[in-house]
Amino acid sequence: MERKASRRENECEEKTSNSESSELDKDYKTSLITLNVGGYLYITQKQTLTKYPDSFLEGIINGRIMCPFDADGHYFIDRDGLLFRHILNFLRNGELLLPEGFRENQLLAQEAEFFQLKVLSEAVKSRWEKEQLACRETTFLEITDSHDRSQGLRIFCNAPEFIAKIKSRIVLVSKSRLDGFPEEFSISSNIIQFKYFIKSENGTRLVLKEDNTFVCTLETLKFEAIMMALKCGFRLLTSLDCSKGSIVHSDALHFIK
């Protein structure tokens, strides 16, 4: 009799345990929401979509806003499916994190407005304003000789990333000290100053090309800067010192996109 009673108790405990497990699985599954945004499927948790009260997504989940369903029973939202990944990442992270080179600020701002996410709208606006300010500011790089300031080149551009590209290339090769390249130089935010600058004599060469071929003399460096700029989509606005007659003999180059 005791064995039968014990067996019944175990069976009851198993049923209770299975029932609780089933309820937990059911709750977990109902907490997962699948959205069809412009043909792109996204699966996320209910708590993520309801993070910001009074938002469009929170209204859908809590039944305040009517939303159609697709053929598979998923919520269908007729918006930009690719940009929605940034909306969802914002809901997950609580901050605006965009990939390098992102250029769709205005479109993302429109999506933020549609989904009624004021915090995201303000973050996108702030990012766009900073980019516009950076574009208006002219950045320059000066490559000069510490002994002779007349020997040198200034490169002006309204895109800091282009200046950084040229600068990093020169610094990288300088540190490698290839083929008699000047070993002593100092670097600041906008200036690379060599103890012994690139002269026209043989044997004083600077590597600048991406294929590691040599660039000789300051004049060739100017041409290489121009070619790098054109490759990156910039145009030569003007030679800032035209008094010397040609770009080759000028002391500065100005690029703009």
- The answer to whether residues 40 and 94 belong to one domain is yes
Structural domain boundaries, residue 40:
25-134
Domain-located, residue 14: no
Average pLDDT over residues 19-46: 76
- Angstrom distance (rounded) from CA 140 to CA 56: 45
Strand partners, 34: 43
pLDDT digits (tens, 9 = 90+) for 187-202: 666 676 665 544 444 5
- The answer to whether residues 100 and 167 belong to one domain is no
- The answer to whether residues 243 and 149 belong to one domain is yes
Domain-located, residue 11: no
Rounded to a whole number of angstroms, the distance between the first and last alpha carbons of the chain is 91
Q: How many CA atoms lie within 13 A of 190 on its CB side?
A: 11
Reported pTM: 0.49
- Taking every pair of Cα atoms in the chain, the longest distance, rounded to a whole number of angstroms, is 113
| pLDDT at 142 exceeding the cut of 80 | no
- The answer to whether residues 89 and 31 belong to one domain is yes
pLDDT at 156: 82
- The answer to whether residues 62 and 121 belong to one domain is yes
**What is the total count of domains within the chain?**
2
- The answer to whether residues 245 and 153 belong to one domain is yes
Domain-located, residue 178: no
- The answer to whether residues 29 and 67 belong to one domain is yes
| pLDDT at 92 exceeding the cut of 90 | yes
Q: Residue 122: which CATH number?
A: 3.30.710.10
Angstrom distances, CA of residue 17 to CA of 12, 44, 252: 8, 28, 79
Map residue 27 onto helix, strand or coil: helix
Amino acid (1-letter code) at residue 171: V
- The answer to whether residues 117 and 36 belong to one domain is yes
Average pLDDT of every residue of the chain: 75
pLDDT at 80: 97
| pLDDT at 229 exceeding the cut of 90 | no
Q: How confident is the model at residue 24 (pLDDT cuts 50, 70, 90)?
A: very low
